[in-house]
Each structure stands twice: as C-alpha cells, then as structure tokens.
C-alpha cells in the first residue's frame, strides 16, 4: 500500500525574494525541503503591476511621509495563486500585528498551505488587510525595514514543528515555551573549561536528580527572563 506523504506548502509574497536565498538554502530549512517535508515558494508581486514601470507603491492619501504599497499588484498576485491552487490563509507580517508565539505556530503546522505577505515602506494599503489578510502578525515590539526578516523567522520556527523536519523529534518537547517554561541550560565536553566545571549532577548518572535539576533551572531562567510566562498559557 502506498503511503500518502503530505507536503506543506509555504508561499511568500515579497518584493525582495533574493533576501531568502541564504536562509532557505542552509541547515534545517534546506534539509526539510530536500526531504519533501515542505515546499517554500517565493512570489515577487512586482511582476503583477500593470503599468510600464511596474509601480508597486505610491504616496499616502491624507499626506504624510513615506510610501504605501499599492493594492492592485498584491491582489493580483494572491488571487492568481488562489485561482490555481484554491484557498489558503494569508499572514501579513506587520509591527501592528498580534505577537507571534508557539501556540500560533503549532496551529499553522497543521495546515496544508499557508502564505506570508511581506510589507515595505509604510506598509500596505489597508484594503489589502481588510479583504485579503487572515491574520496580521508581529514577531516583536520593534520595527523592521520590511516583512522579509520576519517571514524568515516565522518560516524557520514553523518548519521545525513539521513531522520529520528535525533529526530528533524528541528535542521539540524540551525546547523553550513548551509547558510555559524556558529551556534549561546545556553542557558538553570538556568537563572543565577555564576553571568552569559542568554541574556535578549532570555527570552523576542519577536520572531522577538530573531531571529535577533541569526543571529547577528552567523555572529559574523563566522567572528571571520571562516571568510573564509563569502566569499565562503559551
């Protein structure tokens, strides 16, 4: 009996597809694509602009500094792909969006297809957000020059949750943000380095004490760096 292998499709609408070359051709993202876990496709919506100069931005109505991405090329690009493949959620990466977290990523990992829209300049025409976008997502409380770096972050975090993307799936269970705790510290050889030694419990062979040590350290690190996680679900 043949086993049906489901490949997740990730589409990115961007004016700068070349920004993705390095991240997508290295490490986990490269291996996941080669293994057939995910298919990542880049779409330059400048190619959908109708005028001779392929204009994608214009000055904002009402005045103000900067330029705004026009709605026509983005609508044309997204609708073209949907006409060929059916519907899929479109995520607009924006400083105004809801903060990305592990819960959202886990929900996305169950989808057969998802697309990201990378803004530029002062952002996109609001009609794109109102009519095309399913979620507006931010990766942090800061402003980037465009959505491309945010898309790379989101894709990396998403792909590692897909089945068979990682060599050791068990490592996902112990990573930060699982069970509302940050990950405990890790040590490797040499046992002593510049007068700094590996905690004795980790070389004791006592797995119960090792587990207790790691749980305590996870709590300490979370309390220090992200106390908000201890009182809310992630």
For the cut 60, the answer to whether the pLDDT of residue 209 exceeds it is yes
Q: Identify whether 120 is part of a domain.
A: yes
Q: What is the pLDDT of residues 38-53, one digit of tens each?
A: 999 999 999 999 999 9
Q: Identify whether 127 is part of a domain.
A: yes
CA angle, residues 64, 78, 50, in degrees to nearest 5 = 65
Mean pLDDT of 211-225: 95
Evaluate whether 180 touches 234 at the Cβ level (below 8 Å): yes
Domain co-membership, 213 together with 153: no
**CB burial of residue 201 (10 Å; 0-12, 13-18, 19+):** middle
Domain co-membership, 144 together with 185: no
Q: Identify whether 164 is part of a domain.
A: no
Domain interval for residue 204: 176-231
Q: Identify whether 3 is part of a domain.
A: no
For the cut 90, the answer to whether the pLDDT of residue 175 exceeds it is no
Q: Identify whether 66 is part of a domain.
A: yes
Domain co-membership, 97 together with 149: yes
For the cut 80, the answer to whether the pLDDT of residue 137 exceeds it is yes
Q: What is the pLDDT of residues 3-37, one digit of tens each?
A: 445 799 999 999 999 999 999 999 999 999 999 99
pTM of this prediction? Answer: 0.87
Domain co-membership, 119 together with 224: no
Residue 6: per-residue pLDDT: 74
Residue 26: CB atoms within 10 Å = 10
**CB burial of residue 168 (10 Å; 0-12, 13-18, 19+):** exposed
Total domain count for the chain? 2
* Paired residues of 155 in beta bridges: none
Lowest pLDDT segment from 73-82, 157-166, 179-188: 179-188
Q: What is the pLDDT of residues 71-113, one digit of tens each?
A: 999 999 999 999 999 999 999 999 999 999 999 999 999 999 9
């Amino acid at each position: 009996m043949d086993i049906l292998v489901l490949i997740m499709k990730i589409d990115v609408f961007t004016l700068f597809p070349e920004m993705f070359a390095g991240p997508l051709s290295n490490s986990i993202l490269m291996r996941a694509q080669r293994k057939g876990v995910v298919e990542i496709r880049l779409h330059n919506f400048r190619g959908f602009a109708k005028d001779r100069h392929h204009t994608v931005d214009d000055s904002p109505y009402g005045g103000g500094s900067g330029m705004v991405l026009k709605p026509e090329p983005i609508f044309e690009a997204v609708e073209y792909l949907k006409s060929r493949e059916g519907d899929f959620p479109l995520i607009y990466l924006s400083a105004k969006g809801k903060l990305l977290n592990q819960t959202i990523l886990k929900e996305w990992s169950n989808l057969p297809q998802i697309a990201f829209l990378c803004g530029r300049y002062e952002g996109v025409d609001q009609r794109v957000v109102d009519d095309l976008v399913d979620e507006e997502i931010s990766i942090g409380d800061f402003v980037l020059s465009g959505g491309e770096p945010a898309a790379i972050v989101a894709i990396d975090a998403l792909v590692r949750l897909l089945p068979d993307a990682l060599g050791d799936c068990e490592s996902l269970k112990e990573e930060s943000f699982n069970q509302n705790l940050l990950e405990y510290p890790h040590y490797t050889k040499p046992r002593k380095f510049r007068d700094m030694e590996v905690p004795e419990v980790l070389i004791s062979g006592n797995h119960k004490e090792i587990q207790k040590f790691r749980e305590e350290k996870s709590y300490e690190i979370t309390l220090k760096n992200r106390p908000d996680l201890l009182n809310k679900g992630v």
